[in-house]
């Protein structure tokens, strides 16, 4: 039975990834901090899809949490075929308004944990012949978003890191994909206490479609997946126009 490990599986996109993989018949390892929510998800997935779900409570912003999940990825007795590095947080404050500790906490989760878990997974997967690593990034990683500078930079790192790994392991059975969603209905903005009232309705995606499109792209071996046609056009345009013009369009303190 294939087994996938999903971080941030207690809510939002992570819960959708876990459900989609379980629906395909994969066992799942559910990682997040909220043990009660993970246990509820475990029971629901096992009952509905007849798979085995394992709960691994860990704070991936800490060394101990990262080490526990890395150790699970390294296990030879219960191997993981697919890693979904999905857990992430945002910080919707101008650079000097946010406490530096909060910026660092975001980098620990959005960057350091992704690095550490990718390292553990790649090593174990290559030793067994292959596997799939999916890193959830963001459209924000393509854009200099003034209001969320560190978040955008953290996601630029995730996208470039994943693309570079895809280049490095091309021709092997280790596949790496970065999924870059646009605004998606989850708990993400609420947790960041962000006022999203200015974002037009048409820009919002549903978590299920992001996961469906992203997993389909990953299975096709795409290094970068931008779910939804509207966002494909937006990202394509942002890459095609001159950078000084893009900076003007984004505007100071823009979304
Ligand atoms: N929603 C969007 O508009 C959007 C757009 C582009 C990209 N993304 C990216 O999508 C990913 C998933 O976000 P989402 O929208 O699904 O957000 P969400 O609904 O807030 O879910 C975030 C998940 O991450 C977990 N998490 C948070 N801090 C953690 C920590 N320190 N250690 C372990 N797990 C932690 C949360 O669980 P616990 O609280 O139980 O730990 C939760 O399961 C993120 O990487 C985000 O940057 C989101």
Residue 100 lies in a domain: yes
130-177 pLDDT, tens digit each: 999 999 999 999 999 888 999 999 999 999 999 999 999 999 999 999
Q: Which residues line ligand 1 (CB under 6 A)?
A: 7-14, 32-34, 37, 59-61, 86-89, 109, 136, 138, 181, 183-184, 186-188, 191
Residue 230 lies in a domain: yes
Measure the CA–CA gap between 113 and 59, rounded to whole angstroms: 10
Q: How many CA atoms lie within 13 A of 169 on its CB side?
A: 25
Q: What is the CATH number of the domain that holds 47?
A: 3.40.50.720
Residues serving a catalytic function are 151
For the ranges 111-115, 142-146, 193-197, the one whose mean pLDDT is highest: 111-115
Residue 74 lies in a domain: yes
Q: How many CA atoms lie within 13 A of 40 on its CB side?
A: 7
Q: Which two tokens stand for residue 190?
A: 């609420």
Q: How far is the centre of ligand 1, averaged over its atoms, from the C-alpha of 99 (Å)?
A: 20
Q: 236-245 burial, b for 16+ CB within 10 Å, e for fewer?
A: eebeeeeeee
What's the number of domains the chain is made of?
1
The whole domain housing 42 covers 3-250
Query: For residue 254, is pLDDT > 70?
Result: no
Residue 255 lies in a domain: no
Residue 46 lies in a domain: yes
């Amino acid at each position: 039975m294939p087994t996938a490990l999903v971080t941030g599986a207690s809510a939002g996109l992570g819960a959708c990834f876990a459900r989609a993989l379980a629906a395909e018949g994969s066992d799942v390892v559910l990682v997040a901090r909220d043990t009660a929510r993970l246990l509820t998800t475990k029971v629901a997935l096992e009952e509905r899809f007849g798979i085995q779900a394992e709960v691994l409570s860990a704070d991936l912003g800490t060394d101990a949490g990262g080490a526990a999940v890395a150790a699970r990825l390294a296990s030879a007795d219960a191997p993981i075929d697919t890693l979904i590095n999905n857990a992430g947080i945002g910080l919707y404050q101008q650079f000097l308004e946010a406490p530096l500790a909060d910026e660092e906490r975001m980098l620990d989760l959005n960057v350091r944990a992704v690095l550490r878990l990718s390292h553990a997974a790649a090593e174990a997967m290559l030793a067994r012949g292959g596997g799939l690593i999916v890193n959830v990034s963001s459209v924000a990683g393509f854009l200099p978003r003034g209001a969320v500078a560190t978040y955008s930079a953290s996601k630029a790192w995730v996208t470039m890191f994943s693309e570079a790994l895809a280049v490095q392991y091309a021709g092997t059975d280790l596949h790496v994909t970065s999924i870059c969603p646009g605004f998606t209905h989850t708990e993400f903005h609420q947790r960041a206490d962000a006022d999203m009232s200015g974002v037009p309705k048409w820009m919002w995606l549903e978590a299920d479609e992001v996961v469906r499109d992203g997993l389909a792209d990953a299975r096709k071996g795409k290094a970068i997946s931008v779910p939804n046609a509207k966002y494909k056009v937006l990202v394509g345009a942002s890459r095609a126009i001159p950078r000084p013009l893009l900076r003007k369009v984004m505007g100071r303190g823009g979304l």
